[in-house]
């Protein structure tokens, strides 16, 4: 007899009577009146395939090895299922056990586990309902990102992971070095002598691909990067990772308005894509993780984003009838409590805050006429706070040089970045979307450690 090898997803829509072989990991096993019910899942769908093994259908010692967590292949006939919530099940004729899992030691039993516990078994948690759904959504979201830009003629570019610009200002950086710890060559003044290191100067893991993306935008007009970035921030919050993925589009001839419009179109597009392609997984998040997920996503798709300036935002925060942990004050960066208040409580939708004081933003943001604010934009969303940070970039050579001096950065280190303003400069803009922040927004997961397969945070890089 020939059995067609199919995924669980395919098996669930096979016609009754098909002879198939399905493979996967046993999620549960139940014995009742001589019949054994086994649910297998291979990650292709949230829903698993129910196997029905009648007494004597397979050898007793084989069936015994089919424990929760074991990996098996099952062959048999697709039959109509009497159970609710599934059209078909598999009437089993043969089972092959690839690997059993000792019930005394397999840590992922059917009962609910806490997120904290599951983080300690990150090598196994992808086999749970929650993390299966999270990583399928992650896959769909990444694909949606590429499709959005591809449809709009953006060039996908790769910017370096190792960088020697030491002060992009986005966050603390990790050193990259081949020098032996404890044997650092020293300069005359006792500083580490990086000129003897691999790159002959200090090198770091990148915090952002923006500066290089700007160089490419000034050749290809519209580009985007989508890669890992690193920040050695010792912040230990539920919204910060030391290693996270960022999407950074950069566009020549875009001003801040164009940039804001692109950010809004982009968020709406990727949300719509995931809602269309991950219905089953999102339904799970809505039911078990965060009851407002679907409602907020639908709301975003159908509303236009609020636009306010930083100065207006500070006024609104000061007028708000509540006590803050950090008192809102012009010239201070908005804290998460402020960002969430604006988007979650006041406007109840995504809010784009623009024109921040220059003193709290990076040197490359375009200076406004008032000489106090820059053409920055942050997109704030309910539950998460800041999800996008971006700006129109300073394209005027003299202004950019003055800003470098003002912020105490070495002009020499930015020689090539300044060259872009010397040779064929153009107005341009861009932004960065934190991929994991977007994942939190889509899934309702409360901790950023639970939307990336193997999180890196202070004190933690086990897997």
Q: How far is the CB of 199 from ligand ATP (least distance, A)?
A: 24
Rounded to a whole number of angstroms, the distance between the first and last alpha carbons of the chain is 43
The minimum distance between CB 16 and ligand ATP, in angstroms, equals 47
- Render 98-154 in DSSP notation, one character per residue: EE---TTT-S--SS---HHHHHHTTTTGGGSHHHHHHHHHHHHHHHHHHHHHHHTTP
At 51, give phi and psi (nearest 5°). -100, 135
Among 27, 222, 240, 338, binds ligand ATP (CB under 6 A): 240
- For position 75 contacting ligand ATP by CB under 6 A, the verdict is no
| Among positions 387, 404, 440, 451, the unique one binding ligand ATP when judged by CB under 6 A | 387
For 358-386, give the DSSP string. Answer: GGGS-TTBPBPTTSSEEEEEEEEETTTEE
Q: Does 244 bind ligand ATP (CB under 6 A)?
A: yes
Query: Whole-angstrom Cα distance, residue 231 to residue 43?
Result: 31
Site string for ligand ATP, 433-462 (x = CB under 6 A): -x-xx----------x--------------
Task: Select 24 or 389, whichever has its Cβ closest to ligand ATP.
Answer: 389
Both tokens assigned to 17: 């009577």
Minimum Å gap between C-beta 208 and ligand ATP is 6
User: Segment near ligand ATP (CB under 6 A), from 216-224, 240-248, 321-329, 345-353?
Assistant: 240-248
Q: Is 246 in the site for ligand ATP (CB under 6 A)?
A: yes
Segment 143 to 172, residues that bind ligand ATP, using CB under 6 A: 170-171
Instruction: Give the bridge partners for 357, in sequence order.
Output: 373
For residue 93, how many other CB atoms are within 10 A of its CB?
16
Q: How many residues bind ligand ATP (CB under 6 A)?
A: 17
Interface residue with ligand ATP among 48, 432, 444, 455 (CB under 6 A) is 432
Structure tokens, 71: 């990996």
Q: Angle CA(151)–CA(153)–CA(156) in degrees, nearest 5?
A: 100
For the record, the structure tokens of 239 come out as: 């919204």
State the minimum distance, in angstroms, from the CB of residue 397 to ligand ATP: 24
Q: How far is 118 from 128, CA to CA, in rounded Å?
A: 9
Contact between 388 and ligand ATP (CB under 6 A)?
yes
Q: Is 232 in the site for ligand ATP (CB under 6 A)?
A: no
Asked if 363 touches ligand ATP (CB under 6 A), the answer is: no
Name the β-bridge partners of 50: 39
Calculate the CA dihedral of residues 216, 219, 224, 226 and round it to 10 degrees: -30
Choose between 233 and 337: whose C-beta lies nearer to ligand ATP: 233
Residues of this chain that interact with ligand ATP (CB under 6 A) are 170-171, 231, 233, 240-241, 244, 246, 386-389, 432, 434, 436-437, 448
């Amino acid at each position: 007899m020939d059995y067609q090898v199919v995924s669980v997803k395919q098996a669930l829509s096979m016609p009754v009577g098909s002879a198939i072989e399905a493979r996967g990991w046993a999620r549960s096993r139940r014995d009742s009146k001589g019949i054994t019910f086994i649910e297998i899942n291979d990650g292709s769908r949230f829903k698993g395939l129910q196997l029905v093994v009648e007494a004597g259908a397979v050898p007793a010692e084989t069936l015994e090895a089919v424990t929760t967590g074991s990996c098996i292949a099952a062959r048999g006939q697709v039959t109509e299922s009497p159970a609710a919530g599934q059209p078909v099940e598999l009437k089993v004729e043969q089972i092959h056990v690839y690997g059993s899992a000792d019930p005394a030691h397999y840590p992922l039993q059917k009962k609910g586990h806490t997120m904290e516990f599951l983080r300690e078994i990150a090598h196994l948690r992808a086999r749970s309902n929650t993390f299966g759904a999270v990583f399928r959504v992650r896959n769909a979201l990444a694909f949606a990102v590429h499709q959005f830009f591809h449809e709009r003629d953006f060039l996908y570019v790769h910017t370096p992971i190792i960088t020697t610009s030491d002060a992009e200002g986005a966050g603390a950086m990790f050193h990259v070095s081949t020098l032996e710890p404890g044997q650092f060559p020293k300069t005359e003044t006792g500083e580490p002598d990086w000129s003897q290191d691999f790159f002959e100067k200090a090198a770091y893991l990148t915090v952002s691909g923006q500066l290089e993306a700007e160089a490419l935008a000034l050749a290809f007009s519209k580009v985007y990067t989508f890669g890992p970035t690193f920040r050695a921030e010792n912040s230990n919050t539920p919204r910060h990772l030391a290693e996270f993925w960022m999407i950074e589009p950069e566009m020549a001839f875009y001003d801040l308005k164009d940039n804001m419009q692109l950010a809004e179109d982009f968020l709406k597009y990727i949300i719509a894509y995931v809602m269309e392609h991950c219905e089953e997984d999102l339904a799970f998040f809505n039911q078990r993780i965060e009851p407002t997920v679907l409602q907020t996503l639908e709301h975003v798709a159908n509303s236009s984003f609020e636009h306010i300036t930083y100065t207006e935002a500070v006024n609104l925060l000061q007028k708000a009838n509540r006590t803050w942990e950090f008192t809102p004050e012009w010239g201070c960066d908005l804290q998460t409590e402020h960002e969430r208040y604006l988007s979650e409580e006041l406007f109840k939708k995504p809010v784009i805050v623009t024109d921040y004081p220059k003193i709290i933003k990076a040197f490359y943001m375009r200076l406004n006429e008032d000489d106090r604010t820059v053409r920055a934009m942050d997109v704030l969303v309910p539950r998460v706070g800041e999800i996008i940070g971006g700006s129109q970039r300073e394209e005027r050579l003299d202004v950019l040089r003055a800003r470098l001096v003002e912020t105490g950065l070495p002009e020499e280190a930015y020689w090539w970045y300044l060259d872009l303003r010397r040779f064929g400069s153009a107005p341009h803009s861009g932004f960065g979307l934190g991929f994991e922040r977007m994942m939190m927004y889509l899934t309702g997961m409360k901790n950023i450690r639970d939307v990336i397969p193997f999180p890196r945070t202070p004190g933690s890089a086990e897997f």
